[in-house]
Amino acid sequence: MSENTVVSLQQIENYRFDNRFAAGGHQLQTDEPAPLGSDSGPSPTQLLTAAVANCLSASLLFASRKFHIDFEPLSCEASALVDRNERNRLRVLRIDVSLRAGKQVGAAANLERLLGSFEDFCTVSQSVGQGIPIHVTVLDADGTVLKQPVV
Which stretches of the chain drop beneath a pLDDT of 50? none
Q: Report the pLDDT value the prediction gives residue 112, as an integer from 0 to 100.
A: 97
Considering the domain architecture, whether residues 25 and 50 belong to the same structural domain is answered as no
Q: Report the pLDDT value the prediction gives residue 136, as an integer from 0 to 100.
A: 98
In b/e form, how buried is each residue of 112-138, taking b as 16+ CB within 10 angstroms? Answer: eebbeebbebbebbbebbeebebbbeb
pLDDT in tens, 70-110: 999 999 999 999 999 999 999 999 999 999 999 999 999 99
Considering the domain architecture, whether residues 52 and 68 belong to the same structural domain is answered as yes
Q: Report the pLDDT value the prediction gives residue 1, as an integer from 0 to 100.
A: 62
Q: From CA 17, how far away is CA 72, in angstroms rounded?
A: 35
Considering the domain architecture, whether residues 36 and 76 belong to the same structural domain is answered as no
Considering the domain architecture, whether residues 52 and 31 belong to the same structural domain is answered as no
**Across-strand partners of 7?**
21
Range of the domain at 53: 44-147
Considering the domain architecture, whether residues 18 and 77 belong to the same structural domain is answered as no
Q: Specify the pTM.
A: 0.94
What would you measure as the largest C-alpha separation in the chain, in angstroms?
A: 54
Considering the domain architecture, whether residues 94 and 54 belong to the same structural domain is answered as yes
Q: Report the pLDDT value the prediction gives residue 150, as an integer from 0 to 100.
A: 82
Number of domains in the chain: 2
